Structure 1
Amino acid sequence: MKPIKLIISAFGPYAATMPEINFEQFEDKGLFLISGDTGAGKTTIFDAISFALYGTTSGSYRDTQNLRSEYARDDVESYVDFYFSHQGSNYHIKRNPSYQRKKLRGEGYATVKEQAVLYKDGEPLVEGLTRVNGAVRDLLKIDDKQFKQIAMIAQGEFWALLNAKTDQRTEILRTIFMTDGYKNIEFKLKDRLDSVRAG
């Protein structure tokens, strides 16, 4: 998966729609680092990408019930829209968190329910939280925990990958690089070798 751009609106500390983050400007670098001072918004970027893909935040200590900016006006929609390419196709996911806002007419509050839509090459592919979450796992071949360990190492959680047990690290890397076929070949060759030695 290669990130293309990220749009954040009334999400985290941002009260309005922020200027889009264009990841393509870093394309020739291969690997890039998001850095900055404390409070600069690094974790919000991680949270937005993780929330768009999986409906979870990047850190284990944050929940998704408080993702709407407390500074947002009631007429501003909270959402993230994450564009990425994967295996020759372009995708984007628009997801909004569940939140309460004042009713636009009358008194009281209205609940905006969490929604998600996955698009492929500009056309809606899958809608609904469960279906989008499943489609992302099937597409990327990793779940949210693996994604956080390998792609979005949020501040304070870098050690999770480094300190993962060998079998956990092996499984994560096997999934990422889709080497299950090679593992099967290894088993078949071992079986042949055992039968040659026995025979």
Structure 2
Amino acid sequence: MRLHRLDITAFGPFGGSQSVDFDALSAAGLFLLHGPTGAGKTSVLDAVCYALYGSVPGARQSGQGTGLRSDHAAPGTRTSVTLELSVAGRRLEITRQPPWERPKKRGTGTTLDKAQTWLREYDAEAGAWRDRSRSHQEIGEEITQLLGMSREQFCQVVLLPQGDFARFLRADAEARGKLLGRLFDTQRFAEVEKRLADRRRATEAGVREGDAVLLADAHRMQQAAGGTMELPELAPGDPGLADAVLSAAAIARSSAREELAVAQCRLAAAESARTAADRALGDVRERARLQRRFAEARQRARLLEERADDHREAQARMERGRKAEAVAPALELRESADAEHRRAVTAEAHARAALPARYADAGAAGLAADARRAAEELGGLESARRAERRLTDLVAERADLDRQERADEEILAEADSWLAEWETTRARLRARIESAQEAT
């Protein structure tokens, strides 16, 4: 904020009109207001405060502004204060006139004129002043927002009360602390600091509790992972515990996924091998069946060919056979048994020829060993299935942990939101207090 010009009329000890050119005074960088007691030094500062906020500091504010009028002013001269200043990159002119009991234009006695306020802003492009507002409330809110201070703060920080500065210089450290606390009203900041400290301790306790729950869940995860998960050597409340546990959980999850992928690959390979073996077995069985039929057909054809010459002899023997009819059933039974034996030998030879090379010469013991190996492979597949089911349980438990983590993050976000809105809430409550004080 930079003051440019102050015009005073019938204000304080000044019965007439006075003008202060701050641009000329501050040309050297620093200026001093001095003079005997009652010369009006404090009234100049009061006029600046009145122009900005519509009231003067402390006990000098009386009535509704009628106490600001100079006792030396002519009855027809109205009290007026005009301040030209630059703030936040804008050049403004504020004019305030307190309530005034002026003489009636007709008859005797006086009548009360209401307080007046004008706010103008200089338009550099047009080179002229433009009216902005004539509302006391709008002007007060805009000036407060531009300066960033209320009237009490402006009076405490910018306009140090008379006598308090000298007392401050002569006081010891303890007295200076008390005086500064009274001047700048630091009690509310101490209360805010205490409340924030309480909230910090409560939040730390909540974080420790959450860390304890998270660490317990991590130990359960470590047990479920079979001891392969490495947990950090941190206690609840230590910085970085949650990140370390999450990192360890992510590593354990990756390891479990790798083991699952390996087990799935092994299962797929075993299923493929079994399918191929089933197809090969079916082919072998079908080939053996066809070979048996072919062998039987060839055997029957060979027998028929061999017996072609014997047919005639058979006719001759028929006559003799009738004589030996009593022993014919026994002979037929013997021939049938011989034929069945030959067929069995042929089928065995064809079956052995259809087997793979490593089983062709193997006996019963070799086939039994192969059967045991196949059973072991099936047992490994069953273990892989159990590992898959255990992984499913771990994934479900991790989902529960993720939901708990999201709940904790929502609690932290709510706390951060409350802290972020505290300054706005405090400013709003402070504004209500100031409005109530002004109304009082």
Structure 2 Cα separation of the partners of residues 164 and 108 of structure 1: 49
SS at match of 1:164: helix
Question: 2:106 — aligned with what?
Answer: 105
Q: Hey, what's the Cα distance between the residues in 2 that align with 1:145 and 1:195?
A: 44
Q: Which ranges in structure 2 are unaligned for 5 or more consecutive residues?
A: 123-128, 169-175, 190-236, 244-440
Task: Name the CA shift for 1:29/1:144 in 2 (closer, same or farther; >3 Å).
Answer: farther
Q: Which amino acid aligns with 2:131?
A: P
Q: Which has the higher contact order (CA 8 A, sep 6+)?
A: 1
User: Where does the alignment leave 5 or more consecutive residues of structure 1 unmatched?
Assistant: 172-193
Alpha-carbon distance in structure 1 between the residues aligned to 2:5 and 2:44: 11
Name 2:372's counterpart in structure 1. Answer: none
- Per the alignment, residue 54 of structure 1 pairs with 53
Contact 1:75 1:104 in 2 (8 A): no
After TM superposition, the structure 1 = structure 2 runs for residues 84-123 of structure 1, keeping only pairs within 5 Å, are 84-121=85-122, 122-123=129-130
Q: 1:149 to 1:118 in 2, by over 3 A?
A: same
Deviations 1:153-181 (A, max 9, x none): 2423547997333883997xxxxxxxxxx
CA contact (8 A) 1:47 1:59 kept: no
Question: 1:101 touches 1:111 (CA, 8 Å); kept in 2?
Answer: yes
The 4+ residue runs of structure 1 with deviation greater than 6 A are 159-162
Deviations 1:38-63 (A, max 9, x none): 11111110111111110111333432
Secondary structure at 1:71 match in 2: coil
Q: 1:164 aligns with which of 164, 180, 200?
A: 180
Aligned twin of 1:147:
154
| Distance in 1 separating the partners of 2:103 and 2:135 | 25
1:6 matched to which residue of 2? 6
Deviation at 1:15, TM superposition (A): 1.6
CA distance in 2, matches of 1:13, 1:151: 22
CA contact (8 A) 1:46 1:154 kept: no
Post-superposition Cα deviations, 1:69-103, rounded to whole Å, max 9, x if no partner, equal 12222221210001111122211100011121221
After the TM superposition, which residues 64-79 of structure 1 pair with which residues of structure 2 at under 5 Å, given as runs?
Answer: 64-79=65-80
Query: 2: CA distance between counterparts of 1:169 and 1:31?
Result: 33
**Higher radius of gyration, 1 or 2:** 2
SS at match of 2:138: helix
Residue 35 of structure 1: how far off its partner (Å): 2.5
C-alpha separation in 2, matches of 1:91 and 1:36: 29
Shift of 1:29: 4.5
| 1:72–1:39 Cα change, 3 Å | same
Q: Find out whether 1:133 has 2:133 as its counterpart.
A: no
Alignment RMSD (CA, Å):
2.8
Question: Which residue does 2:81 correspond to in 1?
Answer: 80
Tell me, in whole angstroms, the C-alpha distance in 1 between the residues paired with 2:43 and 2:88: 27
Identical counterparts, % of pairs: 30
- Counterparts of 2:22 and 2:157, CA distance in 1: 18
Distance 1:105 1:167, change over 3 A: closer
Please give the alpha-carbon distance, in whole angstroms, between the structure 1 residues aligned to 2:96 and 2:238.
Answer: 54
The alpha-carbon deviation at position 12 of structure 1 amounts to 1.1
**Residues 167/109 of structure 1: CA separation in 2 closer, same or farther (3 Å cut):** closer
- Determine which structure has the larger strand proportion and give its number: 1
Partners of 1:45 and 1:113 lie apart in 2 by 23
How far is the alpha carbon of 1:32 from its aligned partner?
Answer: 3.9
Q: Partners in 2 of 1:167 and 1:65 — Cα distance?
A: 29
